């Protein structure tokens, strides 16, 4: 995959297909590389998101864009809940299933192939919901948020994690150079061509998404989707953001 105008057009026009193409080669070392390439911040961000739903003691949680199941496994450590993980990549789910089996959690975590904007579940089926790095890979973030909220019981917590762009000029410049120069090279050295491609795409995609869908727009979109008491917490000088709220009763 060469990063250019045709790539960005494909990303904008068919984000589900693009995400599948991008992530299918990555699951073998996804969790390790995610920690290395974020300077170990990914785990801290994930913990902050999981804490936003774990306190409510849910019995059934949906984890959307679950990937290799790091969030789902984390949820089992902090709750007694059963977890359903959904992802559009079958190769990611195969790696996720291997991780679940290795952790002896097959009785608590089940995995389903599916799209965040077309969930195969009934209304109000889950006590809580998490989603990670999802909205950049859907065509209509607002409609996706409506669909995510649909499957959560009234009053149930919803939390998300995504990348962001630092607001302070100095940190924003440093972030720009890191995502455009360091990240692709580090990805290639530790994970090969597939991670070079992912590294080259990541920074421009985050910048483009955050220009079009600002944090304030996203907060309003959550509210329009029927989620109330929406809060957000910038992470690591603004490089990530954890957002949370509750399904309106």
**pLDDT digits 0-9 by tens, 200-218:** 888 888 899 999 999 999 9
Residue 8 has a pLDDT of 47
Q: Give the Å distances, CA to CA, from 170 to 42, 80, 196, 216.
A: 22, 43, 26, 22
Non-local (6+) Cβ contacts of 14 within 8 A are 139
| 180 within a domain of the structure (yes/no) | no
Residue 157 has a pLDDT of 98
Residue 189 has a pLDDT of 79
Q: Tokens 């329009």 appear where?
A: 224
Non-local (6+) Cβ contacts of 191 within 8 A are 26, 29, 33
| 43 within a domain of the structure (yes/no) | yes
**CA distance linking residue 205 with residue 184, whole number of Å:** 13
Backbone angles phi, psi at 129, to 5 degrees: -150, 140
| 191 within a domain of the structure (yes/no) | no
Residue 7 has a pLDDT of 44
| 79 within a domain of the structure (yes/no) | yes
Q: Tokens 């496994």 appear where?
A: 73
- Could you tell me if 143 and 218 are in contact, meaning their C-beta atoms sit under 8 angstroms apart? no
Q: Give the Å distances, CA to CA, from 100 to 24, 104, 147, 155.
A: 18, 6, 26, 29
Q: Cα 189–192–198 angle (5° rounding)?
A: 100
- Could you tell me if 124 and 154 are in contact, meaning their C-beta atoms sit under 8 angstroms apart? yes
**CA distance linking residue 23 with residue 194, whole number of Å:** 8
Residue 6 has a pLDDT of 40
Number of structural domains found in the chain: 1
Q: Choose among 69, 62, 63, 50: nearest CA to 123.
A: 62
- pLDDT-flagged residues of the chain (< 50): 1-10
Q: Tokens 């995504």 appear where?
A: 162
**CA distance linking residue 176 with residue 171, whole number of Å:** 8
CATH number for the domain harbouring residue 98:
3.40.50.150
| 57 within a domain of the structure (yes/no) | yes
| 60 within a domain of the structure (yes/no) | yes
- Could you tell me if 103 and 77 are in contact, meaning their C-beta atoms sit under 8 angstroms apart? no
Which range marks the domain in which residue 234 is found? Answer: 5-165+214-247
Backbone angles phi, psi at 155, to 5 degrees: 90, -10
| 197 within a domain of the structure (yes/no) | no
Residue 32 has a pLDDT of 63
| 59 within a domain of the structure (yes/no) | yes
């Amino acid at each position: 995959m060469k990063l250019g105008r045709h790539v960005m057009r494909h990303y904008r026009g068919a984000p589900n297909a693009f995400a599948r193409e991008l992530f299918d080669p990555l699951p073998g070392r996804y969790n390790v590389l995610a920690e290395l390439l974020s300077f170990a911040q990914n785990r801290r961000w994930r913990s902050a998101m999981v804490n936003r739903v774990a306190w409510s003691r849910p019995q059934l949680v949906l984890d959307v864009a679950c990937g290799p199941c790091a969030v789902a496994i984390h949820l089992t450590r902090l709750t007694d809940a059963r977890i359903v993980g959904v992802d559009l990549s079958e190769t990611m789910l195969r790696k996720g299933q291997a991780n679940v089996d290795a952790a002896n959690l097959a009785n608590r975590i089940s995995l389903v192939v599916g799209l965040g904007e077309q969930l195969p579940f009934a209304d109000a089926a889950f006590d809580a919901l998490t989603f990670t790095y999802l909205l950049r890979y859907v065509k209509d973030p607002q409609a996706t948020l409506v669909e995510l909220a649909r499957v959560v019981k009234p009053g149930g917590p919803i939390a998300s994690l995504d990348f962001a762009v630092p607001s302070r000029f100095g940190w924003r410049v440093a972030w720009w150079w890191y995502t455009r120069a360091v990240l692709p090279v580090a990805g290639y050295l530790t994970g090969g061509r597939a991670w070079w491609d992912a590294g080259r795409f990541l920074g421009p995609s985050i910048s483009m998404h955050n220009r079009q869908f600002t944090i304030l727009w996203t907060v309003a979109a959550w509210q329009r989707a029927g989620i109330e008491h929406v809060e957000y917490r910038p992470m690591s000088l603004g490089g990530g953001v954890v957002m949370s709220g509750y399904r309106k009763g």
